[in-house]
Structures are given as C-alpha cells and as structure tokens.
Amino acid sequence: MTEDMTIIAEEAYLAAKEILEKARLEQVKARLLAEPDRTLTLKSLSQQFNVSEAQIKSSFTGVYGMSPAAYARSQRMHGAAALLRETDRTVLDIACQFGYDNASKFARAFRDVIGVSPREYRAGAEYDSCAPQLGEKTGFPLGC
C-alpha cells in the first residue's frame, strides 16, 4: 500500500469512527431522556452501549458541554419548569414525575439548574429562557 493510500484509509477510518461515535452519543442522549424518573449510571450506559464509562463521559461532555448526569438533570429541571409554568399541579407531583420523592431535594436541584425555587418560579420569578413551552418536545411525558 502506498503512503497516499494509507493516509486516505486512515482518514476514512477516522471519519467513520466519528460518525459512529456521534450516532452512539445520540442513542445515549435518547436513553437519558427516555425515563425521566430514573437516574442512569455511567456503568449502566457503558454496559448498554458497550463503551467504556470514561469514553461515554468524555465524548458526551465534548459534544454537549456537560456530563451525561448533568445533562439529564438539566433536562429534567427544564421539563419541570414548563409544568410549573403551564399547569397547576403540585410541586411534589411534578417532582415525583421527574424521579424525586422528596420535595426539598427537588427544590434544591431545581434552584441549582434554573436559579430560583420551584415556588418562586411559579409565582412569576424571572422565567428561564431555556425552559420549553408546554407541548414543545422536551423528551418527557407530561403526566406521572
């Protein structure tokens, strides 16, 4: 094989690997959003997608700017924000939908991501511009 052919083969291999990695990351992202009431571990994702924990975390962070756990938490809180804004469901009911059985833990997570407590948010505190409108695709079902 000539040197030019070797370079072309290496470039094709790297391009194919990048496409596969992006497709796999989309599958990981979809899996994280599929069950908002469950917290998936890197270990379970690693086993499901047959990729090392370090590779999932590194690749996911490189593409989405945060770890899989932080991404899932952020998406949960944005989904919860939409429900707080658009429904009269209780905070605890919404917390339950997103995997929290303790309103205090939910409120702490919500404040960390959105910047205000769920009650302040609902009462009209500055809405988070990233929170989806009700009916917008969040990846989460709207009922418990």
Sign of torsion, CA 134 135 141 144?
positive
Q: Among the residues of the chain, which ranges form H helices?
A: 3-34, 42-49, 53-64, 68-86, 91-97, 103-114, 118-122
pTM of the model: 0.72
Q: Spell out the residues 6+ positions from residue 72 whose beta carbon is closer than 8 angstroms to its own.
A: 32, 33, 36, 39, 40
For residue 99, what is the enclosing H or E element?
Answer: none
pLDDT in single tens digits along all 144 residues of the chain: 577 667 666 665 455 556 557 888 889 999 998 988 888 899 999 899 888 888 889 888 988 899 999 999 999 999 999 999 999 999 999 999 999 999 999 999 999 999 999 999 998 855 545 544 444 444 544 443
pLDDT of the residue at 135: 44
